[in-house]
Amino acid sequence: MKNKRTAAIYHLILIAGALTMVIPFFWMVSTSFKALKEVFVFPPTFFGDKIIWQNYLKVSDRYPFGLFFLNSIKISFFVVFAQLLTSSMAGFAFSRIKFKGREALFSLYLGTLIVPFHVTLVPTFLIMKYFGWIDSHLSIIIPSLVSAFGTFLMRQFFLTIPEELENAARIDGCNPAMIYLMIFLPLTKPALATLGVFTFMGIWNDFIRPLVFINSIPKMTVPLGLATMQGMYSTDWPVLMAGTVISLIPVLVAFIAAQEYFVRGVTLSGLKG
């Protein structure tokens, strides 16, 4: 920024925008500290009479929320690492290795993205049943180890890396595995961080598959637990929002952690490197 005044205007616009982004989040947090009857008063208030911390303790009153949390962490851990690996490898093949049928195969990957999940629910259930994974975390983890979205994303980012870099490495005697590991992966850290955040967010919030494949309470995940708290006739909003706020923390932490890699990505991606 050239001068202070432009910077100030800049901040002003960004703050105004950020405010609209924060409102629902703020509502979630403030509701989580209210008494039930304070939730829907008119005009809406942001703070209740007093702060009720106990809502956070009540989250695990009726369901083992702590266990749901651990289940979700476990599932997400495997899925995020596996997806980063499988997606970046396949993305590399689709962008940097010329082989017969590449475009056709890639179109197939894109094609599966277009089919709404609801319609594949029954066939997927049958496959899970065939493998004996119903009511097991394997039914959520195994199908998520691979992602067409992630493969597409990584392909696009690998495509932007200048060919000269690859050629230079090849002349130095590097094989594709070395090029992938030593040049492409370090250069696409911002992309990997982005994919990591999205994958984590996706699997952490995944609702329909755990809903259909998991039956017993001790194996449930956080979104299932939260949805169960939302009753058909009445809902304890403050407790539900307390649970929701807790459930958002890991995603927020993942996002903040990933931000570090954006900065590092910049310094590394100079052509001279």
Partner 1 sequence: MKKILVVLITLLLAAASVTAEGKSDAKGSESRSGVTTLKFMGWEASPLETESVKNGLAVFEQQNPGIKVEYTPVAGDYVAKLLTMMAGDSAPDVFFIAADQYRAFQKRNVLLDITDHMNQELNIDEFIPLVQEKMLIGDRVYGISSCNVSPVMFYNKDLFDAAGLSYPPSDPDKAWTWDEFVDVAKKLTITDGNRTTQFGATGFEVAWGWVFPPMVMSNGGSVLSDDYSKVTLNSSQSKEVFNAIRDLRFKHHVAPDVAFVEQSGMSAAQMLQTGRVAMMVDGSWALQQLATMDFPIGIGVLPIFDKPATVGQAHLHAAWAKTKHPEEAWKLIKFLSSEDYQLSNIRAGLWLPNRKELYKEENLSKWINPDVYPEDFGNIVKYFTSYGKLWPGVVANREAYDIINEEKDRFYAGDTSVDEMMANIDKRTANL
Partner 2 sequence: MSMKKLAQSNNFWAFIFLAPNLLGFLAFLLIPVVASFGLSFVEWDLLSPMKWVGFKNYIGLFHDQVFLRVLWNTVYYTLGTVPVGIALSLLLAIALNKKLRGMKIYRALYFLPVISSYVAVAVVWQWLYNAEFGLLNYLLSLIGIRGPSWLSSTKWAMPAVMVTSIWKQLGFNMLLFLAGLQGIPSTYYEAAEIDGAGKWTQFSRITVPLLSSTTFFVVVMSIINSFQVFDQVFIMTEGGPARSTSVLVHYLYQNAFEYFKMGNASAIAYILFFLVFLITMLQMKFSDNWVIY
Residues 6+ away with beta carbon under 8 Å from 153: 87, 91, 191, 194, 195, 198
Q: Is 171 in the site for partner 2 (CB under 8 A)?
A: no
d(CA 51, CA 38): 11
Report the nearest approach of partner 1 to the CB of residue 58 (Å).
10
Q: Is 133 in the site for partner 1 (CB under 8 A)?
A: no
Contact by Cβ (8 Å): 105, 167: no
**Site size toward partner 2, by CB under 8 A:** 96
Q: Which amino acid is at 5?
A: R
Q: Is 59 in the site for partner 2 (CB under 8 A)?
A: no
State the CB neighbour count (10 A cutoff) for residue 242. 26
Radius of gyration of the chain (CA): 23
Report the nearest approach of partner 1 to the CB of residue 127 (Å).
8
Q: Is 107 in the site for partner 1 (CB under 8 A)?
A: no
Residue-wise DSSP of 126-186? HHHHHTT-TTSTHHHHGGGGS-HHHHHHHHHHHHTS-HHHHHHHHHTT--HHHHIIIIIHH
Residues 41-60 close enough to bind partner 1 by CB under 8 A = 41-42
Q: Is 37 in the site for partner 1 (CB under 8 A)?
A: yes
Q: Where are the extended beta strands (E) located within the chain?
A: none
With CB under 5 to 8 Å by kind, the binding choice for 129 among partner 2, partner 1, none is partner 1
Residues 149-208 close enough to bind partner 1 by CB under 8 A = 207-208
* Binding region for partner 1 (CB under 8 A) out of 5-13, 114-122, 138-146, 254-262: 114-122
Where does this chain bind partner 1 (CB under 8 A)?
A: 37, 39-42, 62, 118, 121-123, 125-127, 129-130, 132, 134-135, 207-208, 211-212, 215-217, 224, 226-236
